[in-house]
Amino acid sequence: MTIHRFALLAVLLACASMGAGAVELRGFRGFAWGSDVDSLGDARQVSSESGVQCYRRQRENLFYGDSALREVRYCFHEGRLFLVVVDSKADSATLAAEFQSTYGPPAQRLAHKATWGDSGSRARVEISGAPASMRIWSNEYTPRSARVDVAHQR
């Protein structure tokens, strides 16, 4: 019987490790993927290109964990939230550590970039740069024609 329990534990641990780096974010700061622009409240459009409009809320929490932020942009395609861009004052290692403390280790880590999630998860997250930028996008609502790169514009 002990061998069976050990085997079951080994299988469970293997399954848990397969989920490392997967994120099932349903949105960001109370705004669900697919929300409309009006849900932001008092916000100002800061960019528009290739059918993607990005907004900055007037009253935004400019901290992510203990990391100070420069700005947070909420990006919409056809009036639906599909991308959030968080520009930090911290380096990518610090911001990645903040994110990892909640969501676990990244699925992929390169020298200057950490990525959580993939095409099968609800959302994908990428943290890179110095100072760091975190891009969180919905796999369900990201339009095929829109490029995530649009949100890098300020």
Write the pLDDT tens digit of every residue in 31-44: 999 999 999 999 99
The token duo for 10 is: 């080994």
Q: What local confidence, expressed as pLDDT, does residue 50 receive?
A: 87
Q: What local confidence, expressed as pLDDT, does residue 145 receive?
A: 63
pLDDT band at residue 25, thresholds of 50, 70 and 90? Answer: confident
Q: Count other Cβ atoms within 10 Å, centred on residue 91.
A: 16
Tens digits of residue pLDDT in 113-147: 999 998 888 889 999 998 999 999 998 888 876 54
Cα–Cα–Cα angle for 20, 35, 152, rounded to 5 degrees:
65
79: left (phi over 0), alpha (psi -120 to 50) or beta: left
